Every structure is written in structure tokens, then in C-alpha cells.
Structure 1
Amino acid sequence: MTTNSAEANSARYRHEVDCCHEGRSRTGPDNGWMACNDRGRTLIARVFEYSVFVVAGAAAVWLGVLVSIQAVRLGWYGVFVAVLAWGVIAYLALPRLHQILTEIYVPGYYIGRSRTGDGVLGDPVNLAGLGTRAQLDRVMHEAGWIRADEITLVTSLRIIATALTRRSYAEAPVSSLYIFGKKQDVAYQMEVEGSPSKRHHVRFWFAPPRWRLPGGYPVDWIGAGTYDRAVGLSLLTGQITHKIDADIDAERDFITESMTAADDDVDLSVIEHYSSGYHHRNGGGDAIRTDGALPIVDLRRVAATDAQPQTTRRTSWRTLRPASAVAALLIVVATLITAVSAFSTVTGRSALPDLLILVSYLAVAVLVFFGVRWAQVVAVILTAYKVVDAFALWVQGGQITFDRLLISVSLAVITLLLLTSRNAARATT
């Protein structure tokens, strides 16, 4: 395999930014918030990161218990609270538990399967190829595929808006799946009759320089393509998600056929019985089956410039990650709630100390919003302290009812989970 210098340098840079460049391995829970490895980091730093990550997971389970108890106590009026309990368990507690547990038993090396953000096995790798990103982008464009947007605060809000108005969003982001310790480098999709619940889509990961598939096959990238057939609930977490068609080979063939039909310079070969044919489930619990063949798409004869888009690490409001932005917003809300309570009880003493604390918290929230690393660490410490303090009160028999206290606990737990998430890490500077 021959990889041009520009592509190799671009690949190395992407791997360095994404905490997975050649010669290094990730240690600890695969949450993305922690460093790529332990090299040059103190034992105290490692213990702190691992501890906070686990504390956040335990806090999510505890919050699910608290909200469920309130739902039972409120009787018929607890239906709304029960929905909140489902949200806490499905979107906070179970995903973090999966992250912690799968780090123990899911291999971190390449096994032909992607991993979800929760750490469980995702879609299988069912195609691979040779060529640059520019060549891949040209062929996919000619074949009628649309590049999916990145998941940012703006695109997340757009998804909500289009779902409510039932409008088409052809560039809608796809969920992040991980191989080589990083999410997909690029994803493409095709809508089916403008339906938000049905679409063809494929994710691509560019391989590290000189990387080879098992068996010694040289490739520049690998891909995982599936067909979304409907919207439903994840079997593993209960989250609302797309349900994929079990016949992933049909989607694999659809993708490769569209690429070869789009450009006569695209060559296709197939490694028969690359893996054993098998039946399994993906990260959403959907059944999948494959015959084990792996197509290799060769794009090296496709005419395309080797120039890569310039990569920048500057953070703007259009590229802000939802996790950091929402965490900052929750810090502001929690701070204002605390401030109102504190100022209302000020009698015979100066309010200046409380005002200084308020300003400090708001300043930290602003820095977290823009992904400043040290501010995120400070926010993690302050938020973890709030959660542990509330838990100690509960253990000692204190009542945490559905009022300001439970709201405060909920805000703190959700903030802690967001700050220690993979998504927040990608936005830090």
C-alpha cells in the first residue's frame, strides 16, 4: 500500500487530536474525557480522573433511584415523574454503567466491530478501501451520497426543529461510533423519500499509517454501512434511536455498487470468508447478520486533488459540543437557584461574599462553555462535591423530595456526567 505524504500527515494529526495515534493505547474507562495514556501523568491525576468517572456513574444510578421513588410516592400524579425517571435511567445511568463495565470485557483493539459511545459493540466493519479522503468524497458525491453534519450544538438544535416540524434534514448527523479510539472521520447518507426514520448511511474511519487488516491486507480506510428502517427504543438502554435492518450485507452491497457505478475508475475486489458468517446484535440491540465477506474498494485511480481541508482547533459557537454547552448552562441555572436562596436569607451581614462566589461560578461556566480544560476540571471538582454532599445527607436520613433539593441534585449529577463525557473532551482546549 502506498499512502501519500499529505494523507499520512493528516492521519497522524487526526490521531493525535483524537487521542489515538500510532504507538499509544488508551487506558482506563473509554470515556474520552481522560488522557490517551498514562505517559507523563501523575498517579494522583489518574486516580482523580478514574474516581470522578465512576462517581458520576454511581450518581446517575442514585438519581434514577431518587426519581423513581418520587414517581411511586406521587401516585397517578407521578406519571410525569416516571417519564423523567425513564430519561435518567436510559440516557444517564445505563450508558455510564455500560461504559464502566464494557471497559472490563470488551477488547480495545481492532476486532472488526465499532464501539458505541457507551462502550458496547456497535456496527460491524463491512467494507474497506484504498485512496485519499478527497477521492472518497468525490466518489460518494458522484454516487448521490450526502455528507452528514458533525454533532454540534447548532446541528443538535436543528435535528429537534426538523423533527418537530417533520421537515427533511438530508445532512442530519449520525451517532458517533468508535474504532482506533476515535469516532468516524466522515459519514455519508441517503434519505429514503424524505423520511426522517429511514435512510442509508455509512461511516468511514481512516486507518493509522501502515496499518493492515488482519491477514495483512493494506487499506487506507474502513467503513460500516447499515440501513435505518425505523425509529424505536434501544434494547440495551431504552433510548430512542434508529433501528437498523438485520441484513447488513444488502446495505454493504448497495454502497459498493453505488460507488462502482458512479465512477469507472473505481475498482472492487472481495475477500471472501474474511470472517465467519454470524448473527449478533449491534449497540442498539438490533439483530445483524453477515456472510463474513469484506469488499475492498480501490479509489486510487480516481482523479481528485490530494489537498485536505485545513484543520483548526479554534472553538466557535457553530462548533461547540452539546455536552460542554449544556453543562455550562446547567452550572448557570444551578448557581442562580443557589444564589436566590442565599440572598433571600441574608440578614445583618454583607452579601458581598455570596456575590463573589456567584460571579466565580458564572465565570467558570463561561469558560466551560468554550471548552477550556482547566475550567472543566474545576467544574468537575465543585460539582462532584455537591453530589457527594447530597448523597451523605440522604444516607443520614435526610429527605430529598421533588422540590428545590431534588432539582439541585439532578442538575449536579447531569452536569457531572456531561463534564466527564467523551463529547465534552472533544471540545476542550
Structure 2
Amino acid sequence: MRAERGKTPADVINVLFLGTEQQLQAAFQEAGWALADARSFGADLKALQASLRQSGYKGAPVSLLTLHGAAPDLVFQKSLNTFAKRHHLRLWQQSTTYEGQTVWVGAATHDIGIASTAEGTKWFHRIDPQIDRERDLIKTDLLFTGVANGYTLVDRQEVPRNTKNATGDELISDGKLLVLALGPAKPEASQEH
């Protein structure tokens, strides 16, 4: 399963979560991730400024990739103090459930730099070709926070081990899908002094 940019195959679906939207938001917030801002003129201007200043933009928007024609329902990212480099995850809620839990599938990649088209009219992020590293970072981040009930890696023989995304970046993977079940959000620390 692949996300698409237009009709061109893009990122590989490499994660699946079981849990509610609230559980996802709480888990990623606890792990230091933020929701990405929606694309707009203001957000794009802020992204350009961050790029020129070589600074971070915690909620920087991501380009639109679709799954079966649908935009992501949630997008999380973890800034690395520069707009050029960040971790991000696009998530699509599925219509099916598993044992009463909501199913979310996602594509996780690590932006490692910025490139432009040959004409210089469009710019985009380059990603780390070793996409399993990003999948494993998400697993580690969420397990470390204690919000995950458990995980497994599911082998998928049909997933290509070496392919390219919509901008021509190489994608190398073992083909496994991270399946992670989320537990209840951690109780907030007492505000009493």
C-alpha cells in the first residue's frame, strides 16, 4: 500500500495504529511530536522564513499525499531545529476496526534536506532512503512514553524492498509494517505546589 502524489506512487505505508484520535494525539504529544499546520499562504510564508533562517518550524505543513484519493486525517511531525530536517507521519483513519479499536495507517519518513526541480520553480524535501529507521523511531518514541500497550512487526512480501517516491528519492525497506496498540493517555501531573 502506498500513498500517492496525484497518481504517482509516493511514500510506503509502514505503520498501523490501534486507538482513538485522542489517544494518538496524546501519545505523540507526550513523545514530543506536534500536529502539522494546514497548508495556507501564511503557513507557507512561515515555512519559507524558517528555511531561509535555517531555523525550525514546529508545525510546518507537509505536502499533500493521498491514500485512495483521501488526504491524511492527521499529520504529526517532530522538528529537528531546522525546516530542512524533520520527522513526519501522515495518518489515515480506516473504515474498519479491529476488536472494536479504530485502525489508522500511516507513512512515516525523515526529511533530511531540501531540493528543487531542475527549473528551480518548486522545492521539496529529500528523505532518508532507509525508511525503516523512521518507523522504528516512532516505535521507540511511543514505547518510551509508556502510552503503547504493545507492538508487532508484520512481514509483507508484496511490499517492494527498493523503490522510489514521487520526487525520485530511493526508498529502502524490509517491507515490515509496525502495528502498535495505544493505551489510555497518561494522567496529567498534579499542578499543586
TM-score range, shorter chain: 0.7 to 0.9
Alpha-carbon contact 2:129-2:169 (below 8 Å) kept:
yes
> Which has the larger share of helix?
1
Q: Deviations over 1:122-178 (max 9, x none)?
A: 100001011111000000011111111111232122223333444421111011110
Aligned counterpart in structure 1 of residue 124 of structure 2, from 237, 241, 252: 241
Count of residue correspondences? 183
Question: Residue 205 of structure 1 is aligned with which of 84, 92, 101?
Answer: 92
Residue 266 of structure 1 deviates from its aligned partner by 2.9
User: Is the contact made by 2:27 and 2:185 (CA closer than 8 Å) also made in structure 1?
Assistant: no
Paired letter, 2:60: A
Question: Superposition pairs for residues 233-272 of structure 1, below 5 Å?
Answer: 233-234=116-117, 239-272=122-155
Q: Distance in 2 between matches of 1:123 and 1:170?
A: 22
Counterpart position of 1:152: 40
Unaligned runs of 5+ in 1: 1-111, 213-217, 305-429
Alignment partner, residue 67 of structure 1: none
Whole-angstrom distance in 1 between the partners of 2:79 and 2:71: 22
**Residue 292, structure 1, aligned to residue 175, structure 2:** yes
- Rounded Cα–Cα distance in structure 2 between residues aligned with 1:273 and 1:238: 38
Q: Which amino acid aligns with 2:42?
A: V
Q: Distance in 2 between matches of 1:275 and 1:139?
A: 30
1:250-329 equivalences under 5 Å are 250-273=133-156, 275-299=158-182, 301-303=183-185
The alpha-carbon distance between structure 1 residues 234 and 283, as it changes in their structure 2 partners (threshold 3 A), is farther
Q: Secondary structure at the match of 1:292?
A: coil
Displacement of 1:185 in angstroms is: 1.1
> Partner letter of residue 223 of structure 1?
G
Q: How does 1:55-204 map to 2 (within 5 A)?
A: 112-116=1-5, 118-192=6-80, 194-204=81-91
Q: CA-to-partner distance for each residue in 1:11-43, whole Å, 9 max, x for gaps?
A: xxxxxxxxxxxxxxxxxxxxxxxxxxxxxxxxx
**Structure-2 separation of matches of 1:278 and 1:264:** 30
Alignment check: 8 A CA contact 2:20 2:102 kept: no
Within 2, Cα distance between the matches of 1:283 and 1:136? 27
| Counterpart Cα distance in 1 of 2:147 and 2:89 | 21
Say if 1:128 and 1:219, in contact at 8 Å, map to a contact too. no
1:57-92 CA distance string (max 9 Å, x none): xxxxxxxxxxxxxxxxxxxxxxxxxxxxxxxxxxxx
Instruction: Label 1:250 to 1:163 Cα distance change in 2 as closer, same or farther (>3 A).
Output: closer
Percent of residue pairs identical: 29
SS of match in other structure, 1:266: strand
Would the alpha carbon gap of residues 293 and 167 (structure 1) be closer, same or farther in structure 2, given more than 3 Å must change?
closer
Distance 1:129 1:160, change over 3 A: same
Structure 2: how far apart are the matches of 1:289 and 1:282?
10
Bigger Rg, structure 1 or 2: 1
How has the CA–CA distance of structure 1 residues 201 and 264 changed in structure 2, closer, same or farther, with 3 Å as cutoff? closer
> Counterparts of 2:117 and 2:52 in 1: how far apart (Å)?
21
Residues 202, 234 of structure 1: alpha-carbon distance in 2 compared, 3 angstrom cutoff: farther
Structure 2: any 5+ residue segments left out of the alignment? 187-193
State the TM-score, normalizing by the size of structure 1: 0.40
SS at match of 1:220: strand
Deviation at 1:219, TM superposition (A): 6.0
Secondary structure at 1:259 match in 2: helix
Q: Is the 8 A contact 1:203 1:225 kept in 2?
A: yes
Relative to structure 1, is the Cα distance of residues 294 and 238 closer, same or farther in structure 2, using a 3 angstrom cutoff? farther
- Kept in 1, the 8 Å contact 2:142–2:148? The answer is no
Cα separation, 1, equivalents of 2:102 and 2:13: 13
TM-score of the superposed pair, with normalisation by structure 2: 0.85
The one-letter amino acid of 2:163's match is H
- Richer in strand (by share): 2
Are the counterparts in 1 of residues 56 and 83 from structure 2 also a CA contact under 8 Å?
yes
Q: Counterpart of 2:60 in 1: which secondary structure? A: coil
